[in-house]
Amino acid sequence: EIVLTQSPGTLSLSPGERATLSCRASQSVSNNYLAWYQQKPGQAPRLLIYDASSRATGTPDRFSGSGSGTDFTLTISRLEPEDFAVYYCQQYGGSPRTFGQGTKVEIK
Amino acid sequence: EVQVLESGGGLVQPGGSLRLSCAASGFPFSSYGMSWVRQAPGKGPEWVSAVTTSGDRTYYADSVKGRFTISRDNSKNTQYLQMNNLRAEDTAVYYCAKMQGYFDYWGQGTLVTVSS
């Protein structure tokens, strides 16, 4: 099983700032099959990025994904008020599909 | 518009059973694999089970193997999760998700609480 470790656990930033979230895999993720989700309280996770760097339908272009192998990054170029949430990475290159433990982006 | 809507959650005693349903619309249901993903209170999501387009192949997390059964009825655009021998650690919000490896559409979730 591929274990995903996200860092930091919490990111305290102000609107307009840049956010950089990390997701590290315990082994190489096949074909860079890594996705990122955003979750707000009381809501289901929402797909933002798939295949490490492809934006899902409706994902604003301030969100970008990068990385390969075992190291992946989600970058939010300029935080908007609606971006404060918890973010999860998920790999689908191996079985079972696994998620990271999440990074909370909170208002500083 | 893609929609998935779960139902069937509730309070059940340890050792009990529950059947979840997920009604889908807005996409060609029989063309996509489907999954169940759960999230325990304060935790990250955990993939539980998946079923292929025709329902002929099913997959399970080790934590539920032998206790849960996934199925689908393409004539009703619906998938199911039969949960038997439930444990306290199965307490979670259960989400139905359209699957393409990643999960591109999720329902709002249904809460399953296992407690005496």
pLDDT score, position B107: 97
d(CA A106, CA B3): 29
pLDDT score, position A49: 98
pLDDT score, position B114: 98
Give residue B15's identity as a one-letter amino acid code: G
pLDDT score, position A64: 98
The predicted-structure confidence for A32-78, as pLDDT tens digits, reads as follows 999 999 999 999 999 999 999 999 999 999 999 999 999 999 999 99
Q: Is B44 on the interface with A (CB under 8 A)?
A: yes
Pick from A79, A74, A83: nearest CA to A55: A74
pLDDT score, position A39: 98
The alpha carbon of A103 is separated from its chain's Cα centroid by a whole number of angstroms, namely: 8
What does each C-alpha distance from B48 to A83, B12, B63 come to in angstroms?
28, 19, 8
pLDDT score, position A92: 97
Both tokens of B36, joined, read 């169940």
**Cβ atoms B18, B84 nearer than 8 A:** no
**Cβ atoms A45, A63 nearer than 8 A:** no
d(CA B71, CA A23): 33
Both tokens of B55, joined, read 């329902």
d(CA B8, CA B18): 7
The predicted-structure confidence for B11-47, as pLDDT tens digits, reads as follows 999 999 999 999 999 999 999 999 999 999 999 999 9
Which of A50, A95, A96 is opposite residue B102, by nearest beta carbon? A50
Q: Which residue of A has its CA nearest to B4?
A: A44
**Span A85-94, mean pLDDT?**
97
Q: How close is the nearest chain B Cα to the Cα of A92, in Å?
A: 5
Cβ pairs A/B, distance under 8 A: 51
The predicted-structure confidence for B57-115, as pLDDT tens digits, reads as follows 999 999 999 999 999 999 999 999 999 999 999 999 999 999 999 999 999 999 999 99
Interface residue ranges in chain A relative to chain B, Cβ cutoff 8 Å: 33, 35, 37, 43-47, 50, 56, 88, 90, 92, 95-102
Query: Got the DSSP string for B26-72?
Result: SS-GGGSEEEEEEE-TTS-EEEEEEE-TTSS-EEE-TTTTTTEEEEE
3-state secondary structure of A24: strand
pLDDT score, position B91: 98
Respond yes or no on whether the N-terminal peptide bond of residue A96 is cis (omega within 30° of 0): yes
The predicted-structure confidence for B37-59, as pLDDT tens digits, reads as follows 999 999 999 999 999 999 999 99
pLDDT score, position A107: 94
Which of B59, B62, B101 is opposite residue A92, by nearest beta carbon? B101
d(CA B102, CA A90): 8
pLDDT score, position A50: 98
Is the CB of B102 less than 8 angstroms away from the CB of A35? yes
